[in-house]
Structure 1
Amino acid sequence: MNSEDLLYTLALQNIPNLGDTTAKKLIRKFGNARNIFAEKSSNLVKIDGVGQGRIQELKDAKYLRAAENELKFIQDNAIEVYYFQEEQYPEKLKHCLDGPILLFSRGKIDLRRKRMLSIVGTRQVTSHGISFCEDLIEKLAILDPVIVSGFAYGVDITAQKAAVKNGLQTIGCLAHGLNQVYPKSHKKYIREIEENGGFFTDFWSTDNFDRNNFLKRNRIIAGLSEATVVIESAEKGGALVTADIANSYDREVFAVPGRPGDRFSIGCNNLIKTQQAHVLTSVADLAYILNWEIEEKEKVVQKQLFIELEEDEQKLYNLLKERGKTELDLLALNSNFPTFKTASLLLNMELKGAVRPLPGKLFEVI
């Protein structure tokens, strides 16, 4: 996108109460943002969502003047801009009706052929929640997903720090412009996150921090990924809003179950109880539902001298050792395990370096 097109698109984005859904309608109808500002009012008013109030604002030069200032900020600070009609715009977000027409980023984000997973939860995460989150991401590392979160206290920063520690890309979605840091105490994490991913926002440098911005930010967290994981949540909270948005986008949602009565298990348990989320107890649950198969180059696991297998895993291992290469369905039949459980057990065994998958849903011992 050249500077002139970006200028007019910024101005369009800045029109109060226009919204991304209506802005996209206008762009698709008239070709680009510049044409919209030049269009006759009689044609604009025919577009659903554009009333006389919006038309008057489209004719007000102050929005172009504001866009000029924001364009200068973008250029002076080497901000990367993603436009919803361009190829580099995040693929999953393209399918969200209310996805931003412009997305601003900083860092070294690379989304090509990447699995994307959003991890959210309470700001008051418990020690159990921290431990589960860190363990989950450590075991996810072999699948090389991009970990998306909100750079907030609690589960968010735990997930992003764990991603960096395990060599994974991580993206922090911000509820303010790229000239600010919230919370301020997280300023110390900026550099390492930008070196291992970066930040996304659709807010301008002139947008003051406001807690109401979190709702708008959450749609980007949910929209970027094919699945959202809720680690811990009280009965109400931003993580549940993100899960609801993810469900509205027809994305998978996972929740970590907790003990009944625990304050920060209530939200997750309710998601599971009302069938708004899958139960998540291990990486295997997630990989099975999302059909995340480990590619050949990722399957190189150093064979351990002593591999500790659970009782059910040992049963499958013995069957494979006795029969040799065996299909998943046949393993399920001979072990008397449901197919989904067999697949989950096999993935755990694969991560332990005990078995490997082969084409045609075959498995064999290593």
Structure 2
Amino acid sequence: MTEDQIAVLALVRTPSVGSVTIRQLISYCGGAEKVHRSDYKKLIKIPGVGDKVARSIIGKHGWTEAEKEFERCNKIGAKLTFYTDPDYPKRLKPLYDSPVLLYSQGVIDYNVVRTVGIVGTRKITDYGKSVTEAIIKELAPYQPLLVSGLAYGIDITAHRACLKNGVPTVGVMASGLDVIYPAVHKRTAEEMQANGGIVTENPFGTKPDFMRFPARNRIIAGLSDVTIVVESAKKGGSLITTEYAQNYHREVYAVPGNLGSTYSEGCNQLIRNNKANLFSSVEEMAHDLQWVLGQTEPKAPSRYDKPEGELVFEGFTQDEGQVLALLKKGGDMQIDDMSWQSGIHLGKLATLLLNLEFQGMVRSLPGKKYALI
């Protein structure tokens, strides 16, 4: 782990400093280490940083916890992945609410060509079990990473079916790595680490409090190209995952169920309200998504996987495209000059640059300068 990564971990453990603020700090200061070396006057000028946050950073309040966390990760063989790392999930990076830090155990490649999320009720029926197992079996030839939540019901059925069919799978947890929930799934979680693993944004010792599950669901949705809901009640937690998936512009499929079945009401409702595609088979879903068996690369490059030396503007907003064009023409530029030349208000421009930095398009430099990557 580099000094800069330890500095990021210290920011994560600093009281009153959230994920958005951490990105803002790093963007303005040009690196996590430089954040810690900044004085009060500089910190207080950064948008979103108030007196309390500035004093917490200056007081080094997060360093002790960061050092303990780092030692514990080394002890149990856990990995820390920061949003500035090359292997951070590219599907999460551009999201406004993506985690700054992920803790994981296992062998996880977040950036495989295809990822699929499977979610559903904890009170699984025989129908839900058989459908889930059939989906995993049919998915196996496409070599996706299967993402779920390690919970009772549909989640654990999907993970175990992946183990049986050789499909890499990752369980996203609402607790710390050392608090497997539910505890009866600990053995499965350990088996998953040979071909996938477990991941969380929460530090060691975190209990799976109710409020942490929606946050966990956003990571499942964010990691997945497509989310499949197998069974869900009208107000099931799976519907929260689908809301996130829709907000992230990801595909959602729902398995239809019998009329009158409590645990199909949520799926039928999603289909009826045009919030999910009707799932009939993996083959039809693969056709919709233009998946090709044996294809190891995407059919077309994504906006995050641009060819060397080529800048792809497709998929960006007009303002983002204007900023990218300015940087392409002028090279390294100060944010004040960019604001003057583009006519974009400084506050809005700072947000645009931050979003473009998350997307891997620009990098921040000392002196409030920015450059294309």
TM-score by length of 1: 0.77
Q: Which moved more, 1:146-155 or 1:175-184?
A: 175-184
Matched residue of 1:292: which SS? coil
1:143 matched to which residue of 2? 142
CA distance in 2, matches of 1:282, 1:17: 47
2:176 matched to which residue of 1? 177
Shift in Å, 1:17: 4.8
AA at the equivalent of 1:254: Y
Q: Within 5 A, what are the aligned runs for 1:99-118?
A: 99-118=98-117
Shift in Å, 1:112: 4.9
> Within the alignment, does 1:191 sit opposite 2:190 as a pair?
yes
2:84 matched to which residue of 1? 85
CA RMSD of aligned residues (A): 1.9
Shift in Å, 1:148: 0.5
2:248 matched to which residue of 1? 249
Matched residue of 1:272: which SS? helix
Shift in Å, 1:206: 3.3
Shift in Å, 1:235: 1.1
CA distance in 2, matches of 1:247, 1:285: 20
Shift in Å, 1:252: 0.8
> Within the alignment, does 1:258 sit opposite 2:245 as a pair?
no
Q: Within 5 A, what are the aligned runs for 1:1-366?
A: 1-2=1-2, 4-295=3-294
CA distance in 2, matches of 1:134, 1:249: 27
String of CA shifts for 1:84-105, please: whole Å, max 9, x gaps: 1222111211121211111111
CA distance in 2, matches of 1:35, 1:214: 34
Shift in Å, 1:16: 4.1
Matched residue of 2:193: which SS? helix
CA distance in 1, matches of 2:271, 2:19: 31
Quickly say closer, same or farther: Cα 1:266–1:83, change in 2 above 3 A: same
CA distance in 2, matches of 1:169, 1:249: 23
Q: Which moved more, 1:286-295 or 1:141-150?
A: 286-295
Runs of 4+ more than 3 Å apart: 15-18, 111-114
AA at the equivalent of 1:266: E
CA distance in 2, matches of 1:26, 1:16: 14
String of CA shifts for 1:230-266, please: whole Å, max 9, x gaps: 1111111221111111111111111111223321111
CA distance in 1, matches of 2:290, 2:21: 35
Matched residue of 1:286: which SS? helix
CA distance in 1, matches of 2:127, 2:16: 42
Shift in Å, 1:42: 2.9
Unmatched 5+ residue regions in structure 2?
297-373
CA distance in 2, matches of 1:180, 1:63: 22
CA distance in 1, matches of 2:41, 2:236: 44
Unmatched 5+ residue regions in structure 1?
298-366
String of CA shifts for 1:317-348, please: whole Å, max 9, x gaps: xxxxxxxxxxxxxxxxxxxxxxxxxxxxxxxx
CA distance in 1, matches of 2:137, 2:98: 30
CA distance in 2, matches of 1:162, 1:278: 23
1:300 matched to which residue of 2? none
Shift in Å, 1:59: 2.7
AA at the equivalent of 1:91: K
Quickly say closer, same or farther: Cα 1:17–1:256, change in 2 above 3 A: farther
String of CA shifts for 1:197-229, please: whole Å, max 9, x gaps: 111111111323322211211111111111111
Matched residue of 1:61: which SS? coil
CA distance in 1, matches of 2:178, 2:134: 33
Q: Which moved more, 1:53-62 or 1:169-178?
A: 53-62
AA at the equivalent of 1:48: P
TM-score by length of 2: 0.75
AA at the equivalent of 2:7: Y
CA distance in 2, matches of 1:216, 1:22: 17
String of CA shifts for 1:40-59, please: whole Å, max 9, x gaps: 33332333322222223223
CA distance in 2, matches of 1:296, 1:74: 36
CA distance in 2, matches of 1:256, 1:130: 12
String of CA shifts for 1:272-314, please: whole Å, max 9, x gaps: 12221111111123212221111269xxxxxxxxxxxxxxxxx
Quickly say closer, same or farther: Cα 1:273–1:44, change in 2 above 3 A: farther
String of CA shifts for 1:163-208, please: whole Å, max 9, x gaps: 1111110001111111221101111212211112111111111323
CA distance in 2, matches of 1:18, 1:260: 48
**What number of residue pairs does the alignment pair up?**
297
CA distance in 2, matches of 1:286, 1:215: 26
Q: Which moved more, 1:153-162 or 1:185-194?
A: 185-194
1:306 matched to which residue of 2? none
String of CA shifts for 1:139-170, please: whole Å, max 9, x gaps: 11111111100001001001111111111100
